[in-house]
Amino acid sequence: MTTLRTFQTEIDQIAQQQAAKKRAQATAEREKELKKNVTQVPSPSIKGHKEDAANISSKPADADTGQDTIEVNAGQVHEIQDLLLKRTQADRDKARNILAELLTTARGEYIFRIGVQPIQSKLFARDSKPANYEYDGIPRTVEEIDTIRDELIKTVDEIGGKVTLLFEYRDSSPRMTLLLRLPPPSVSLTPEVRCAVVGNVDSGKSTTLGVLTRGALDDGRGRARVSLFRHKHEIESGRTSSVGMEILGFGPDGQPILPTSSHSNDPEVIKREKMSWEEISIQASKIVSFIDLAGHEKYLKTTLYGLTSGAPSCVILIVGGNAGLIGMSKEHLAIALALGIPVVVCITKIDMTPSNILAETIKQVTKILMSPGCRKTPVFVKSAEIAIEISQVFAEERLCPIFQLSNVTGEGLDHLRTFLNLLPSSEGDTEKFPVDQPFECCVNEIWSVPYVGTVVDGIINSGSVKAGDAILIGPDSNGNFQSTAIKTIQRKKAPVNSAEAGQCVSFALKRVRRSTVRKGMVIVHKTDTPPRAVRQFEGQVLILYHNTTMQRNYQAMLHCGSIRQTVRIIGMDHPQGVLRTGDRATVTFEFISHPEFIKVGMKLLFREGKTKGLGVITKLL
């Protein structure tokens, strides 16, 4: 029987192979276009064009993004510190040049550590105390650390950036951690982190988001969550039933951007004086987008759609301290693990939960995370230093940060805000969102806006786009693509002129009827050969759970990116012709309603009742 972890590794390899293949094709097409341009120009300038072609073709795959491939190493940081300690103008100028290169390489944000640093394995150990830490790095005295900090503030200020103190320790083994951040040149280049928020009913999802994004603490009776609800029935029932979106902006100084009413106790004032997304976007140097998903079982398909279509960087699992990991919380955790999304756990209501019940909840969460099905190492975030360090490595190291929060007293919220502020941006993953490939964007939401027309919202999977570009949108029920153009572009309700891979954007489309657009469609640049939509495809699948057997003609709901449609099994290579829990096979699927635009290497999740299966598309038919 194939284990989930082995299968996930294999489907990741298939996805990576396809990504490498597409990258090679894109490079070949670009070189072909360059050679074509060279042959078309007059002879006096051929030499110059050849040199340009050689320069462009020799650039790395991500050179078009303006991002260097040079890795920031510890040697650079130590060199900067040594130069700043000398305090001469020549050394400061040299340090400034290295800092400018360092910040450009790190996409405008870098965590600068001074002094010895605890070895992460010791820092993250559950029972480890500061006295037991082991250290690495160059020791500095308190006076040297203060000098480096003061000189660093002046130097970074000269290149237009800000320095924020994140953490300092002045006793034995003195050290300091600073955040260096450059304000983005425009709203279109503001880095964004997408986080999906899941959990059981009444675990405190909407309340936690309300406190984080509005700044005002809860009164213990749900005051903080009311401003997040979008429908009347949600306010009446107190339950989220739709995919809500909230944003939290962080300024160049690392402080959260909150409304002026954040310290008010009047719920009407809090609701009335909340900041618009445009106000936050203009001020922010980083935006954290929260996808608030429903916790109730009857809204599971909505939650699944949010997880598959939103391309979140991490899943924040909210667990009520008084109830533990129950009901849909386990289901949401299983889905996040199946999709390979990093998980962060927040245990809420610690102010009202008796200590013995809270201890039981912590024990239960730890046991589940360390079980063979999860294989995550729980790390309890109880200091700013742990929050800083784990934000950079938890996704790759199979670590699971655990925060203990009280939305009434505010305990633990500062550590969570620090963690969110330092998370790497979603569009920074050039493997997942390549900018050097043809433009492609999936449609997640559609609106009809008065005096504007049809507006679609989605995440750009690859490439870049500008307002005014001619595009194709589809496929329709017959598999055809419609020609149109982009009138305007918005990011987080703020107008922008362009957008690139990894960003969540809204497009106003020219002369397109709302009724002709649906979720799951894709937008691509207009070309002579439109993309191919398919009705049948093959996939490698692993059955996570099914209470009987699956046979031919079995139907289930398929989730693949922003696609959500019923499929039928029309063939399988299993010797017995049936599939049970834990079985793996190559299965041929057929879309029931209409053809879709899918690609080899895309992950898929299908469900029907309690039945769940995970897979990857291996062939289009």
In whole angstroms, give the CA distance from residue 26 to residue 140: 48
Which H/E stretch holds residue 180? strand 175-181
What pLDDT is stored for residue 125 in this prediction? 84
Average of per-residue pLDDT values in the chain: 83
Which H/E stretch holds residue 81? helix 74-86
- Shared domain check, 240 and 171: no
Greater model confidence, 327 or 95: 95
160, 181, 202 - which closes a domain = 181
Residue 42 structure tokens? 């007059």
The answer to whether position 228 is within a domain reads yes
What pLDDT is stored for residue 329 in this prediction? 85
pTM, two decimals, is: 0.85
What pLDDT is stored for residue 539 in this prediction? 93
User: 271-289 pLDDT, tens per residue?
Assistant: 556 777 888 888 899 999 9
User: 185-230 pLDDT, tens per residue?
Assistant: 888 888 999 999 998 888 888 888 888 888 878 776 666 665 555 5
- Shared domain check, 603 and 505: no
- List C-alpha distances in Å: 8 to 344, 475, 607, 616: 20, 29, 18, 9
The phi and psi torsions of 136 (rounded to 5 degrees) equal -140, 150
The answer to whether position 204 is within a domain reads yes
In whole angstroms, give the CA distance from residue 526 to residue 511: 15
- Shared domain check, 278 and 397: yes
In whole angstroms, give the CA distance from residue 286 to residue 391: 15
Q: DSSP code of 262?
A: G
Strand, coil or helix: 412: coil
CATH number at residue 368: 3.40.50.300
CB 292 within 8 A of CB 246: yes
Largest Cα–Cα separation, the chain: 83
In whole angstroms, give the CA distance from residue 8 to residue 613: 12
CATH number at residue 553: 2.40.30.10
The answer to whether position 46 is within a domain reads yes
User: 76-119 pLDDT, tens per residue?
Assistant: 888 999 999 988 889 989 999 999 988 888 888 999 999 998 88
- How many folded domains does the chain comprise? 5
The yes-or-no verdict on residue 571 having pLDDT over 50 is: yes
Q: DSSP code of 468?
A: T
What pLDDT is stored for residue 73 in this prediction? 63
The yes-or-no verdict on residue 175 having pLDDT over 80 is: yes
In whole angstroms, give the CA distance from residue 386 to residue 65: 32
- Shared domain check, 451 and 309: no
C-alpha angle 378-379-382 in degrees, rounded to nearest 5: 145
- Shared domain check, 80 and 50: no
Location of structure tokens 């040149």: 185
- Shared domain check, 104 and 47: no
The answer to whether position 65 is within a domain reads no
Residue 56 structure tokens? 């462009």
Find the domain containing 480 and state its range: 440-525
The yes-or-no verdict on residue 325 having pLDDT over 60 is: yes
Q: Whose CA is closest to 138, among 92, 98, 79? A: 79
In whole angstroms, give the CA distance from residue 402 to residue 407: 16
- Shared domain check, 565 and 418: no
Strand, coil or helix: 544: strand
The answer to whether position 409 is within a domain reads yes
Strand, coil or helix: 439: coil
- Shared domain check, 46 and 15: yes
In whole angstroms, give the CA distance from residue 490 to residue 509: 12
428, 454, 488 - which closes a domain = 428
Q: Give me the helices (H) in 291-429, please.
A: 300-309, 328-338, 355-370, 384-393, 413-422
The phi and psi torsions of 516 (rounded to 5 degrees) equal -90, -5
- Shared domain check, 352 and 300: yes
In whole angstroms, give the CA distance from residue 313 to residue 295: 20
- Shared domain check, 590 and 451: no
- Shared domain check, 202 and 95: no
404, 428, 452 - which closes a domain = 428
CB 92 within 8 A of CB 151: yes
The answer to whether position 67 is within a domain reads no
| 475 cis-preceded (ω within 30 degrees of 0) | yes
Strand, coil or helix: 328: helix
Tell whether the torsion through CA atoms of 268, 269, 272 and 274 is positive or negative. Answer: negative
One-letter identity of residue 262: S
Average pLDDT (163-183) is 92
The answer to whether position 434 is within a domain reads no
- Shared domain check, 313 and 175: no
List strand residue ranges (DSSP E) for 467-620, in order: 470-474, 482-491, 494-496, 498-500, 504-509, 522-525, 536-545, 555-560, 563-572, 584-591, 603-608, 611-620
The answer to whether position 435 is within a domain reads no
